[in-house]
Amino acid sequence: MKNLILLGGPGVGKGTQAKMLAEKYSIPQISTGDILRAEIKSDSELGKQAAGYMKRGDLVPDDLILAMIEKRLQEDDTANGFILDGFPRTIPQAEGLDSILARLERRLDGVVDIEVPYEKLVQRITSRWGCSECGADFNSLSSPPQVVETCDHCGGRLQQRPDDKEETVRQRLLVYREKTAPLIDYYKRKSLLKIVDGDKPVESVFAAVCNTLI
Ligand code: AP5
């Protein structure tokens, strides 16, 4: 069983690596950012509550996130493991996760912290594009589409996330430093932490992440 957390600042490649791990180990990627964006798209009550925080680059309140995760971790597809991508992001979220897992009689197997220099993150995120139709990810620097602003897979229009503007990315980085980086010590103290250099090609990072799981 693999119950994993991918930790790291905005744009380090958590989503990219989580998708690859999900495929390799046949376990679900649980991205709190993706769940929240789907809630906003469906105009749900949770989406309405989360939208303002996300647009500013701030964190959505812990109680909303913990309720969302507790529900998700009770779904059947997590029985053989899960990859948490973008959660936890604060010490109270990490403590809340410990309590949820204790209630579900499960435990964490590892926490992989992906590290990339901050300035490179701004560059990576502001050049990220996603397909509005099929959700495929492109990056004008590292994996550009063949035709500008058009999806290679379905021909859909490519768009940028509203929180990927440079000013908002800088706010997300500040929030990461203040609220999320302390989790590195939290998981180091629990002897669960592995560190991977994310400033390498995607496949090399993936090989390094998989190595930490052996
Ligand atoms: P979320 O969606 O989680 O965003 P994030 O953590 O800021 O992470 P990103 O999705 O921007 O980056 P990533 O690390 O997944 O990198 P990716 O693989 O896409 O959260 C968004 C917002 O939701 C938050 O700001 C907050 O408001 C709210 N939220 C979410 N979770 C929350 C929580 N737990 N508590 C409270 N609020 C929460 O890669 C980035 C780009 O780089 C891509 O274009 C990719 O192609 C490229 N790339 C990836 N790897 C490489 C590589 N090795 N080399 C070159 N390019 C690469």
Which pLDDT belongs to residue 194? 97
Residue range 122-149, pLDDT digits in tens? 999 999 999 999 999 999 999 999 999 9
Residue range 80-134, pLDDT digits in tens? 999 999 999 999 999 999 999 999 999 999 999 999 999 899 999 999 999 999 9
Q: Is residue 159 part of a domain?
A: no
Cβ atoms of 98 and 109 within 8 Å: the answer is no
Q: Is the CB of 96 under 6 A from ligand 1?
A: no
Mean pLDDT score, 27-55: 97
Statement: residue 171 has pLDDT above 80 = yes
Q: Is residue 140 part of a domain?
A: no
Which pLDDT belongs to residue 168? 96
- The torsion of the CA quartet 174, 176, 179, 184, rounded to 10 degrees, works out to -140
Tally of CA atoms within 13 A in the half-sphere of 79 that contains its CB: 3
Q: Is residue 193 part of a domain?
A: yes
Cβ atoms of 48 and 37 within 8 Å: the answer is no
Sequence-separated (6 or more) residues with CB below 8 Å from residue 31: 14, 15, 18, 85, 86
Which pLDDT belongs to residue 152? 97
Q: Is residue 22 part of a domain?
A: yes
Q: What span, in angstroms and rounded, lies between the C-alpha atoms of 35 and 29? A: 11
**Would you call 172 a catalytic residue per the annotation?**
yes
Cα 97 from chain centroid?
Answer: 16
Which pLDDT belongs to residue 1? 60
Rounded to whole angstroms, what are the CA distances from 144 to 34, 124, 147, 158, 166? Answer: 22, 12, 8, 11, 19
Q: Of the listed 72, 89, 124, 194, which one is catalytic? A: 89
Which pLDDT belongs to residue 214? 85
For residue 75, how far is its CA from the centre of ligand 1 (angstroms)? 24
Statement: residue 157 has pLDDT above 80 = yes
- DSSP-based three-state secondary structure for 111: strand
Q: Is residue 164 part of a domain?
A: no
Q: Is the CB of 205 under 6 A from ligand 1?
A: yes
User: What is the CATH classification number for the domain harbouring 199?
Assistant: 3.40.50.300
**Would you call 128 a catalytic residue per the annotation?**
yes
- DSSP-based three-state secondary structure for 123: helix
Q: How does residue 180 score in pLDDT terms, banded at 50, 70 and 90?
A: very high
The DSSP bridge pattern shows strands 128-131 and 137-139 to be antiparallel
Q: Which domain holds residue 78?
A: 2-116+180-212
- Give the rounded percent of residues in the chain with a pLDDT score beyond 70: 100
Cis bond leading into 88, ω under 30°? yes
Residue 12 Cα: closest atom of ligand 1? 14
Q: Is residue 129 part of a domain?
A: no
Q: Is the CB of 64 under 6 A from ligand 1?
A: no
**Would you call 189 a catalytic residue per the annotation?**
no
